[in-house]
Amino acid sequence: MVGTLASVLLGIFGRLLDFYIRGTDAYAGYCMAAAGFLALAHTFRRGEHIRVTLLLEQAGAARPWLERLCLALALFASGLLAWYSVRLAWQSHTFNDISTGNDATRLWIPQIGMALGTGLLMIALLDAFVGAWRATSVLPSAPATPSHVE
């Protein structure tokens, strides 16, 4: 799974750079979107999506319940996002929506990435939720070396 994802992303990023040098702005945006969305689930499973863990760490015995509550809420939000992303791509397809930029891409093609990525995130959250309910799997907490982002 990670391997296929890696190769997909490798291709996307390579293309991103390449296309972009040729000046195809819109395609850079599509590729970026695809890379971002497709990596959602993977990043979630690695515990690298950012959250406030202050209360969770202090919660003690209530922690499993709080964790389940968080997962349920997140599952709900990601479910909405996934549903409407699929709908957006589907509608773009039905109405044959075309990009307003000079690339004139049929928008449903890049939007598939979003639909797929958010769908995968929802499945990953569902998996984590079921896992947390059965208390079989523990979510990876924040990575030991915090992200180098800020």
DSSP 132: H
- For Cα atoms 125, 68, 38, give the angle at the middle one, nearest 5 degrees: 15
Separation between Cα atoms, residue 35 and residue 17, nearest integer Å:
13
Which of 4, 15, 22, 46 binds other proteins (CB under 8 A)? It is 46
Torsion angle, CA of 80/82/85/87, rounded to 10 degrees?
-80
Alpha helix stretches (DSSP H) within the chain: 2-21, 25-38, 40-45, 54-58, 63-94, 108-134
Told to check if 44 binds other proteins by CB under 8 A, we report yes
- Name every residue whose Cβ is closer than 8 Å to that of residue 41 and which is 6 or more positions away in sequence: 117, 120, 121, 123, 124
Q: How far is the CB of 94 from other proteins (least distance, A)?
A: 13
Which of 1, 4, 21, 100 binds other proteins (CB under 8 A)? It is 21
Which of 88, 126, 127, 131 binds other proteins (CB under 8 A)? It is 88
Told to check if 29 binds other proteins by CB under 8 A, we report yes
Binding flags for other proteins, 58-77, as an x/- string (CB under 8 A): --------xx-xx--xx-xx
Residues within the interface to other proteins (CB under 8 A): 6, 9-10, 13, 16-17, 20-21, 25-26, 28-30, 32-33, 35-37, 39-40, 42-44, 46, 48-56, 66-67, 69-70, 73-74, 76-78, 80-81, 83-85, 87-88, 91, 110-111, 114, 144-150
